[in-house]
Amino acid sequence: MSSSSSSAERLSQIAGHLNFPQGLLAGQVAIITGSGQGIGAEVARLFANEGAKVVVSDIDAKKAEDVAQSIKSNGGSAVAVSGDMLDSKYIDELVKKAAEFGEGKINIIVNNAGFTWDGVIHKTTDKQWDTIIALHNTAPFKLIRAAAPYFRVKDGAPRSIINISSTSGLHGNAGQANYALAKAGVTGLTKTIAKEWGPQFGVRANTIAFGHILTRLTAAKEDGAFVTTPDGQKVALGIPKAQGDTKAKAGFEDIPLRRPGSATEAARAILAVASPLFSYVSGQTISVTGGRNI
């Protein structure tokens, strides 16, 4: 939180210099899915620091409420709307509540909610496959479709959609066929939005593909983090400690910057793309990887 606050202060200074005295996202209403923790929570905080009204969406109601409260106690504007992105009714409710909170406006959607459920191809079950595609592709599509009336608007206000992908989607990754397909799919969805809603409505859509970012998804599996599927199955998160230790011991030699990124660094990239500094960037897939895979 402290590194996030100090980086937010520096960003606010930059915004002031660039003539956005109320912040880079002043008055914009943003839905951030999966913002109860990790990258999404940092996005919520950075957006709020830049004047956005933030809708904190997460399946974990307590964490979503905590993020919204911490934003409000820092003088920002936020509301928690918790629920499962795999539930179509929740998606409709999320859009309805966001529009109420935004007094009829929604400017930004960050499709960030997600998790990994790894398996080599010959052992991946239908349920593993279907859940990951549903969460990373179908849910973002349904959210964007439900929010269409708030994006297909000709009032000249900034509107932007950011879909979160991964190096696994761009390059493939052994043990992640489901996640790689889903994260590749996001890029086609993004480009289609850019082409459908750019010409008349000025909506920008971009994909951000992360490499190794330090969250519970990349922490040691032995730490015990898990998510629960709608039918009650626990899915362990993280990567086996031995695998993580090997990468660290090798000095992250596959990453030119030789280190993983923090959730705050990941969130800053999302803020950059959402901000007016990127007003002429649309349809792109931006890798935020410390240079991995170049």
Ligand X SMILES: NC(=O)c1ccc[n+]([C@@H]2O[C@H](COP(=O)([O-])OP(=O)(O)OC[C@H]3O[C@@H](n4cnc5c(N)ncnc54)[C@H](O)[C@@H]3O)[C@@H](O)[C@H]2O)c1
What are the residues whose beta carbons fall under 8 Å from the beta carbon of 131, sequence distance 6 or more? 86, 117, 229
Q: Which of 12, 166, 190, 275 binds ligand X (CB under 6 A)?
A: 166
Q: Does 59 sit near ligand X (CB under 6 A)? A: yes
Q: Does 46 sit near ligand X (CB under 6 A)? A: no
Catalytic residue of the set 90, 150, 179, 280:
179
Q: Does 265 sit near ligand X (CB under 6 A)? A: no
Q: Does 39 sit near ligand X (CB under 6 A)? A: yes
* Shortest CB 280 distance to ligand X, Å: 25
Q: Does 244 sit near ligand X (CB under 6 A)? A: no
Tell me how many residues contact ligand X (CB under 6 A): 28
Q: Does 220 sit near ligand X (CB under 6 A)? A: no
Q: Cα 223 vs. chain centroid, distance in angstroms?
A: 23
Q: Does 66 sit near ligand X (CB under 6 A)? A: no
Nearer to ligand X, 151 or 210 (CB): 210
Nearer to ligand X, 153 or 162 (CB): 162
* Shortest CB 120 distance to ligand X, Å: 19
Nearer to ligand X, 12 or 289 (CB): 289
Q: Does 254 sit near ligand X (CB under 6 A)? A: no
**Pattern 69-108, ligand X, x by CB under 6 A:** ---------------xxx----------------------
Q: Which range, of 55-63, 70-78, 140-148, 187-195, touches ligand X by CB under 6 A?
A: 55-63
Q: Which candidate, 262, 172, 169, places its Cα nearest to that of 219?
A: 262
Q: Does 34 sit near ligand X (CB under 6 A)? A: yes
Q: Which range, of 29-37, 46-54, 190-198, 278-286, touches ligand X by CB under 6 A?
A: 29-37
Q: Does 47 sit near ligand X (CB under 6 A)? A: no
Q: Examine the residue annotation and report whether 280 is marked as an active-site residue of this protein.
A: no
Task: Kindly report the three-state secondary structure assignment for every residue of the chain.
Answer: CHHHHHHHHHHHHHHHHCCCCCCCCCCCEEEEECCCCHHHHHHHHHHHHCCCEEEEEECCHHHHHHHHHHHHHCCCEEEEEECCCCCHHHHHHHHHHHHHHCCCCCCEEEECCCCCCCECHHHCCHHHHHHHHHHHHHHHHHHHHHCHHHHCCCCCCCCEEEEEEEHHHHHCCCCEHHHHHHHHHHHHHHHHHHHHHHHHHCCEEEEEEECCECCCCCCEHHHCCEEECCCCCEEECCECHHHHHHHHHCCCCCCCCCCCECHHHHHHHHHHHHCHHHCCCCCCEEEECCCCCC
Q: Which range, of 37-45, 73-81, 93-101, 241-249, touches ligand X by CB under 6 A?
A: 37-45
Q: Does 216 sit near ligand X (CB under 6 A)? A: yes
Q: Looking at beta carbons, which residue is closest to ligand X?
A: 38
Would you give the end-to-end CA distance of the chain in angstroms?
31
CA distance linking residue 136 with residue 50, whole number of Å: 27
Amino acid at 16: G
The catalytic residue positions are: 179
Q: Which residues bind ligand X (CB under 6 A)?
A: 34, 36-40, 58-60, 63, 84-86, 112-115, 135, 164, 166, 210, 212-213, 215-218, 227
